[in-house]
Amino acid sequence: MWRFVGCRFGKVKNGRSKERGNLMNRTIYFDNGSTSWPKAPGVAGAMAELLENGAFNINRGNYSGAYEVESIVLETREQLARLFGWKDSRYMIFTPSVTYSLNYFIKGFLKPGDHVLVSGLEHNAVMRPLEQMNSRGVSYDIVPVDEEGNLEAARLDELIKQDTKAVIVTHASNVCGTVVPIQEIGKICRERGLFFAVDTAQSAGTIEVDMKECGIDFLAFTGHKGLLGPQGIGGFLISERLDKQMEAYIGGGTGSQSDSLLQPESLPDKYESGTMNLPGIIGLNAALDFLEKTGMDVIHEKKMGLTKYFLEKVKEIPEVRIVGRKDIEDRVAVVSLDFQTVDNAVAAFELEQEYGIMTRVGLHCAPVAHQSLHTFPQGTVRFAFGMGNTTEEIDCCVEGIEKIVKNT
C-alpha cells in the first residue's frame, strides 16, 4: 500500500515507511516532465464522485444523470478553447493523449507525395508516425537546432519545398526544456500557405499559447502534465480550414446520426468515436478550475524560480554538464544533466536509492532531440520541477549529486 507523507509518498511495509538513505520517510518527485504530481486539488475527488455516484455515458442516455455529465464535458471543452485562444469549443476534440492527437493529424491529413518539416527536438510521438507514413510516400526533413536546442525560424524557411504541406514542431523540448519560437514559425507558415501543427505536451498549462496569434492549425495537448490533470486524457484543437481537409482517422459510434453508416462531418463528433474517457475529462475539468483560480503565471513563476535555483547550483559542479540553455530564458522547468564521471543510469539509480529523488534517465522517447543535443546514445538524467517542489528539495538533490560524482 501507499501512504502520503506530506506532499510525497513512501511505500509502507508492516505499517512503517521504508527508509531511504539519510532521508527517512521522504521521497522527492522531480519527474514532472513525465507526469505532474501531485495532481491539482479536487482532481481525484471529482473522478471518484463520478465513478461512485453516476458514471453515465453522454450522447447515449436520455436521462438527467447523462445530461449533467454532458454539461461538465461541454464546460471542459470551453475551458480548453479559452485556454488556447480559440472561440468555438466545437473545434476542441478529446483524445486519450497528445500522442493519439498527433497521430490523428499525421495519418488523417497527410497524403502520399506530401512533404513535412519538423524540428530537431521532436518526440517519437511525431517521429514514429512520420516514419510509418514515410513508407506510404510522405517525406520529411528535420530543421536543425543548435547545441542548446535553439531553433532559428529562418532555417525553416530555407527548407520549404514545392511539395511541403505542413510544419510540425514541439513547443518546448521534453529533453532540455528549450522553447521553440512558434509565433515566428506560424508567421512563415501563413506566408507560405502551410498548415502548422504544434505539440504542447511540455508547455500547455505552463506557457500561454494562443492559436490565432501563432497561426496554429492543429494544437495537440495532454491533460496530465502542466494542466495537472489525470493520465489518459488529452486532445487537440483544429482550425476550420484544416478540418475541411482532414479525415477522421478513427470511425465508429458517436451517438449522433445513428441512421447512417457514414462518419458524421459535424464537430466534435467527426473525431470522437467510441466511449469517451469521462472520468479523465471530469478530473481535467477540476484541474482547469484550479489553474484558472491560481493563475498560470503564478505557477510558471514558481517553477521557473526553482529551475533558476537548480541551474545556479549545478553550474558549480564540474562533473556534470547542463544540456541545453544555462539560464531560464525561453525555456520550461525541464533540465537535463549529462554526468561526465559516472554513467547516467547509475547516477539516476543512486539518486533514487540513496536520496529518494525520482528523475527520468535515458533517451526520453526523443532520439532525434538527443542527437541534436549531442547526448545520443548515452541520454541524460532529466529533472522537471512542479509547483509542489521546494528549494530545500533541490538542496538535497544537489548534495546527492555532489556525493555521487565525488565517490566515483
Residue-range domains of the chain with CATH = 2-30+295-406 (3.90.1150.10), 44-293 (3.40.640.10)
In 261-375, the DSSP E strands lie at 320-323, 334-339, 357-358, 360-362
Residue 165 confidence (pLDDT): 98
In sequence order, the 6+-apart residues with CB closer than 8 A to the CB of 65 are 54, 56
Phi, psi of 397 (to 5 degrees): -65, -45
Over its C-alpha atoms, the chain yields an Rg (Å, rounded) of: 22
Indicate the pairing of strand 2-5 with strand 8-13: antiparallel
Point out the residues of the chain with pLDDT beneath 50.
1-24
For the chain, the first-to-last Cα distance in angstroms comes to: 35
Cβ atoms of 33 and 206 within 8 Å: the answer is no
Residue 25 confidence (pLDDT): 53
| H or E segment and range at residue 354 | helix 344-355
Report the SS3 class of residue 360.
strand
In 164-217, the DSSP E strands lie at 164-170, 195-199
Among the listed residues 142, 141, 133, the one whose alpha carbon sits nearest the alpha carbon of residue 112? 133
Among the listed residues 336, 344, 372, the one whose alpha carbon sits nearest the alpha carbon of residue 127? 372
Distance CA 76, CA 287 (A): 10
Distance CA 262, CA 105 (A): 20
Cβ atoms of 361 and 31 within 8 Å: the answer is no
In sequence order, the 6+-apart residues with CB closer than 8 A to the CB of 408 are 341, 342
Residue 7 confidence (pLDDT): 32
Give the global pTM. Answer: 0.92
